[in-house]
Amino acid sequence: MKHAASSGQSGLCALVLLAVLLPLAIAQAAVRSDWVLLPFNLAKWKATNGLYYDKRFYGDDSDRFMFDDLPAADFSHGGVCFIGSSTLRYTVCRYELPPDLRPLIQNCAVSASNYSQQRQLLQFLLDHRGMRHSGRGRSLVLIQLYFFNATHYNAFRNEIWHDRWIRDGLYTFDNNGALQDLPLNPLQRGARLAQLRDDKFWAWANRAVRGRMNDVRPVLSLTREQIYSNTMEALNPDWSAGMDLELQQLAGTLDDLDAAGVKVVPLFFPIPTWFDGFAPNTKYRTGVDAVLRNRGLTPLDLSRALPDSDFADSVHLTYTGVHKIRPILIDVAEKFITEQGLSSKR
């Protein structure tokens, strides 16, 4: 009797353990094999010729950056980093790089980020991902130039940025507002990442079952009036004064990188003709030209590299647009890597 009861209890414990561990194992295996989704997603993107968000088994594109790319980023021996907002993030397509180049080329563009926030992130890369110690001229930053990046956010928008970093228990800010890794030992950090990937996978599975997948978005058909109205709504009412403040942050970022011995390529991103004569864009171009001129920097100017038909909405690129611009960007990165003799084999 006692033996039977003991066996029953052992069986129950085994079932409970299996119920706990099996979903975790499924999620971890799926997230680590999410490359199997890429051919399907990319084929759909090409057929739609719209906008692709590289989510795969994550909730949004920034999850992959914060959970996978940023924890593994290491510039201590040199490398290339793209900094900007969503228009650049969705264009670099790091998943299309050959495996030996992925550790050397990081896509650190963050959706809806402005120059103040991008400066915080770059300081993090300098101080906590080895960029400051890689050796003078061994790291390269391609920093996106686009008037949207010079939007000065109010306290509410800045709080969104702050919460985005601290919500998952991986990062924090010190008393001076500097971004840092949350102090965790390797076991704690590994367990936290496993939990996050598990949560994100099952949230993805729930959306998939309900048919609520939105990795690819068709081209939006907008009039010039709608674009102007939507853009002005996204900008603060006092956008002009705010832009002056953000251009100061851009200037400070360029000075920070120069002081750290990091090479910079300022990148004028493609911009559609409907922003010709648009006051924020005109003011931005005048201001940023002065910032670059004062520092002797020559930009890579792709602002007129695409026709309007290569835009999926007012600012983001279609599949066709991405695959016209991406080779130019990756070529700059690869040439730098070759010139510096960088290798992912250490």
Whether residue 219 is found in the same domain as residue 162: yes
Asked, for residue 280, whether it belongs to a domain, the answer is yes
| DSSP line for 220-266 | P---HHHHHHHHHHHS-TTHHHHHHHHHHHHHHHHHHHHHTT-EEEE
The CATH number linked to 137 is 3.40.50.1110
Tens of pLDDT, residue by residue over 255-306, are 999 999 999 999 999 999 999 999 999 999 999 999 999 999 999 999 999 9
pLDDT interval class at 149 (50, 70, 90):
very high
- Expressed as residue numbers, the domain containing 214 is 37-340
Q: What is the dihedral of CA 78, 80, 84, 88, to 10 degrees?
A: -160
**100 and 25 belong to one structural domain:** no
41 and 10 in one domain? Answer: no
Whether 13 and 142 share a structural domain: no
- For the entire predicted model, the pTM comes to 0.90
Residue 345, domain member (yes or no): no
Q: Is position 115 within any domain? A: yes
Are 25 and 54 within one domain? Answer: no
Query: Are 122 and 249 in the same domain?
Result: yes
Number of folded domains in the chain?
Answer: 2
- 78 and 26 both lie in a single domain: no
110 and 191 co-located in one domain? yes
Residues 195 and 320 in one domain: yes
Long-range CB pairs of 205-209 (<8 Å, 24+ gap) are none
49 and 198: one domain?
yes
Give just the sign of the alpha carbon dihedral 72, 76, 77, 82. positive
pLDDT tens digits along 252-265: 999 999 999 999 99
**In a shared domain, residues 243 and 165:** yes
